[in-house]
Chains A and B, each alone.
Chain A
Amino acid sequence: KAGVTQTPRYLIKTRGQQVTLSCSPISGHRSVSWYQQTPGQGLQFLFEYFSETQRNKGNFPGRFSGRQFSNSRSEMNVSTLELGDSALYLCASHRDRGSSSYNEQFFGPGTRLTVL
């Protein structure tokens, strides 16, 4: 069974630009969560999507947005990039809420974003 895939793996952007990151969950998983990991703040929750709907959102500014497609693939977008957005962006795949293993989240390899 293929794991979570994320593209691109590395990205370099300049301040003010925008970026789109992509995540494909494990086959059969319909929920996708996004996290930002930085040395200073650790892993922080961005948002969660299920069945093309955002179900939960963390404490990030509106520049951070996401969406999910009918095939469960998800994208996140960051507009007007700032230096502080440099981080490892991780996508996690998990089962439906009705599943007893719903909270088991499996991470993709991440996209390392550098903002210059």
Chain B
Amino acid sequence: EDKVVQSPLSLVVHEGDTVTLNCSYEVTNFRSLLWYKQEKKAPTFLFMLTSSGIEKKSGRLSSILDKKELSSILNITATQTGDSAIYLCAVSGTASKLTFGTGTRLQVTL
């Protein structure tokens, strides 16, 4: 059975700090790893990483896939209060279904 573990479970930082969120996975026939941001609503797509695209960057957010270590990190630099959310990591294998981790709750304070 596919499995995704995220750490830390929660994190409180000050505005301007840099944070790194971790995701490790076990999946049969890995196809992709996805990061989502969830505030008080549905998850919003951030990045998708695959064997052919192991690094993604968008503004202050970036992510790297380590296929050897079966893990990924999501970096957020110069954090802002608007970054406060739950960050979800998900993987897909042979089937297209996504298996999600429990998420990392990030709180950015002033």
Residues of A at the B interface (CB closer than 8 Å) are 31, 33, 35, 42-45, 48, 55-56, 58, 90, 92, 94, 97, 101-110
Contacts and interface: CB of A to CB of B under 8 A. Distances in A.
14 contacts: A31-B96, A33-B96, A33-B98, A35-B98, A43-B100, A48-B95, A48-B97, A90-B43, A94-B96, A103-B31, A103-B48, A103-B96, A108-B42, A109-B42
A109 B96 contact: no
Interface in B83-109: 88, 90, 92, 95-103
Nearest to B91: A103
Taking each of A56, A102, A105, which has the highest tally of chain B beta carbons within 10 Å of its own beta carbon? A105
A106 B45 contact: yes
Contacts of A104: 34, 45, 48
B42 A42 contact: no
Interface of B: 31-32, 34, 36, 41-45, 48, 50, 88, 90, 92, 95-103
Given A108-B42, A109-B41, A101 B97 contact: no
Nearest to B31: A103
Given A103-B48, A105-B34, A56 B96 contact: yes
A103 B42 contact: no
B50 to A, nearest CB: 8
A84 B100 CA distance: 20
Contacts of A105: 34, 45, 98
A108 B41 CA distance: 9
A110 B48 CA distance: 22
A111 to B, nearest CB: 10
B32 to A, nearest CB: 4
